[in-house]
Structure 1
Amino acid sequence: MLDVVIPNLYGIGAAPENPAPLAGWAFRQFHGVMMGLAYVAYVEYPWVADWIEPRNLKGGIVHGLIWGVLTTIAFPIFVMPLWLQAAGFPGAPPFPNVGFPATLLGLIGHFVYAVPLGILYALYRT
């Protein structure tokens, strides 16, 4: 995925026989930073703090889990297949991109990213 799929999102056009791992890694890091900034915007939205305070450990974990679910639904399930199809990538997944075990593994990966993000945000903001 890092070698072929992610570079194709940005028009690098990496083929399986000619992967672009450095480009994939760099774009993946960029995605992580953007999703971290989007998380801050999400938890700073006034109704979110009224619902569950994101600035304590419990709230950080809850919002991290929610963020993991939201990012899994939004990006690998909906955005990525449409983006890859629009970019003309021949290996684009179907829309919506739901399959077992790939979607479950993606959700777990997003939890591994989002829960520590929520905890670190809560620790930073207390």
Structure 2
Amino acid sequence: MTDTTESITDVGQVYTQSLATRIKAVPTLAWIAAAVGGFIGSIPLGLMMQYGNPEPLIALALPMMYGLSGPDLVSGWVIHQFHGIALAVMYVAAVQWQPLTEYAKTLRGAVALAVVVGVVSTALLSVLLMPLWLGAVGYPFTPTFPDLAMPEKLWSVLGHVIYALPATIGYALVMRR
């Protein structure tokens, strides 16, 4: 029994070390390409949020999430752009998971993964996290939890896919070399 337990532990440690090793091996240029892509992709998403939603998401919701008074459009945009970069960096780390590593290096894979990022980020951030966080900070337009309002969530998926495309494609182009 001890041998089996030790074997499972060893396999887990090897897998974890392997993933950590793969993350460390990502070229700096790939991290930069994804981060710049995340920054660029955040611009159309932010514009969609600013002009496509009746609530002041950029100017009021984002500053309030970080304890800032609002409305403050500049602070909201800085926070939004930071989120775009942070999510792009998380994408690079996530695609080091073995089933995705090679797929993320292709343009077809990058586009498909941008769709996945769009759906997953909308589900986790817009549908689940944002209503809870906004409610906790007293945002006056807090949606119900979970926020499944339509057609806003379809708009959110589209915006997050548009956001993700420069990050996923930038990463793929650097890693194809």
Which has more radius of gyration?
A: 2
Structure 1: 4+ residue segments shifted above 6 A: none
CA displacement, residues 4-53 of structure 1 (integer Å, 9 cap, x when unaligned) = 11111111132xxxx2101100000110010110110111112323xx61
Equivalent pairs counted in the alignment come to 120
Structure 1 distance, partners of 2:138, 2:60, is 13
Paired residue type of 1:37: V
1:1-126 to 2 correspondence within 5 Å? Answer: 1-14=57-70, 19-49=71-101, 53-126=103-176
What TM-score do you get using the length of structure 2 for normalisation?
0.64
Structure 2 distance, partners of 1:69, 1:46, is 21
Structure 2 distance, partners of 1:29, 1:42, is 20
CA displacement, residues 76-119 of structure 1 (integer Å, 9 cap, x when unaligned) = 11001101111122321111111112111111110111122211
Q: What is the aligned-residue RMSD (CA, Å)?
A: 1.3
Gaps of 5+ in 2: 1-56
Q: Which has the higher contact order (CA 8 A, sep 6+)?
A: 2
What TM-score do you get using the length of structure 1 for normalisation?
0.89
Identity %: 34
Q: Compare the two structures and name the one with the higher helix fraction.
A: 2
**1:4–1:20 Cα contact (<8 Å) kept:** yes
Structure 2 distance, partners of 1:110, 1:122, is 18
